[in-house]
Amino acid sequence: AQTVTQSQPEMSVQEAETVTLSCTYDTSESDYYLFWYKQPPSRQMILVIRQEAYKQQNATENRFSVNFQKAAKSFSLKISDSQLGDAAMYFCASYGVNYKLTFGKGTLLTVNP
Amino acid sequence: DAGVTQSPTHLIKTRGQQVTLRCSPKSGHDTVSWYQQALGQGPQFIFQYYEEEERQRGNFPDRFSGHQFPNYSSELNVNALLLGDSALYLCASTVLTRDTQYFGPGTRLTVL
C-alpha cells in the first residue's frame, strides 16, 4: 500500500517570494510516479508537475520545481516568484502499479499581496 | 481538444435514494477513474475502468458501482445513499500505458 503525508496544513507566502511545500511518501514499489496537483476554490484538480521515480533529475515546470529525494522518500514542491493565482490547495500524490492515485491531505497555500 | 467533462455539476438527493454521475474522458483517453473527495480531505480512489471492466477498486462498499461504455465514457452509481456520501465526486482519465491522470470539474453531491 502507498501512503502520502503532507505535514503542513497551511502555508503562506508574500507575492513574488518563494515557498516550499513538503511531502513524504511510503511505497514498496520500485516503479512509481509522484505528482503535485493544485485545487483552487473552483475545485478543479489541476496537474502542476510530475516526477518519474526512476529519474534522478528533478522535474521543473516554469516557476514550479521539485526536490525529489528517493532514499528519504521525500518530494517537496518549490514555487518561485509566487503569484496571487497560485493560491489554492496543493495535493501531493503517488501512483503505482495498482493504478490508483493516493493523495495526501493537502496544504492550503495563501499568497499575500 | 476537449478535456474531461462531468455531469451534473451539482446534485441534491435524500437518504436512501440512488444517484448516477457521468463522465466523458479527455479525447484519446481510454481509462477512467473515480474519486470521492470529502470536505477538507484529499480525494479517495473508488475504482478504475478500462475496456468496459472494473480494473481496480478502492475501499468502498458495493453500493458504489460503475460502468464504462464502448466510447470510453463512464457512469458512477451509488445506491441507498447515506449522509456520509455527500462529497465532491471527481472523474479522471488517462491512457492505459501512461501515468498522468487528468481530472474533470467534479460533481458535488449533497445527501439530505
Instruction: Choose the mutation target among B45, B95, B107, B109 for the interface with A, i.e. most A CBs under 10 Å.
Output: B45
Domain ranges for chain B? 5-111
For A106, name the nearest residue in chain B, comparing CA atoms only.
B42
pLDDT reported for residue B1: 63
Peptide bond into B61 cis (omega under 30): no
Q: Flag if A101 and B100 touch (Cβ within 8 Å).
A: no
The predicted-structure confidence for A47-79, as pLDDT tens digits, reads as follows 999 999 999 899 999 999 999 999 999 999 999
Q: Flag if B105 and A98 touch (Cβ within 8 Å).
A: no
Q: Which residues contact B21 (CB under 8 A, 6 or more apart)?
A: B6, B7, B8, B11, B75, B76, B77, B78, B89, B91, B107, B109
pLDDT reported for residue A58: 96
Q: Flag if B99 and A101 touch (Cβ within 8 Å).
A: no
pLDDT reported for residue B97: 66
DSSP-assigned letter for residue B14: -
**Spatial separation of the C-alpha atoms in residues A56 and A68, rounded to whole Å:** 8
For the domain made up of B5-111, the CATH class stated in words is mainly beta
Chains A, B: CB pairs < 8 Å: 56
For B88, name the nearest residue in chain A, comparing CA atoms only.
A43
Q: Flag if B42 and A105 touch (Cβ within 8 Å).
A: yes
Q: Is B56 on the interface with A (CB under 8 A)?
A: yes
Task: With beta carbons less than 8 A apart as the criterion, state whether B25 and B6 touch.
Answer: no
In CATH, A3-112 is 3.40.190.10:
no
Q: Flag if B99 and A50 touch (Cβ within 8 Å).
A: yes
Cell numbers at residue A74, please?
A: 521525500
| A8-26 as b/e: b if 16+ CB within 10 A | beebebeeeeebebbbbbe
Report chain B's mean pLDDT, rounded to a whole number: 94
Sequential DSSP letters for B30-79: -EEEEEEE-TTS--EEEEEEETTEEEEE-S--TTEEEEE-TTS-EEEEE-
| pLDDT at position B37 over 80 | yes
Domain ranges for chain A? 3-112
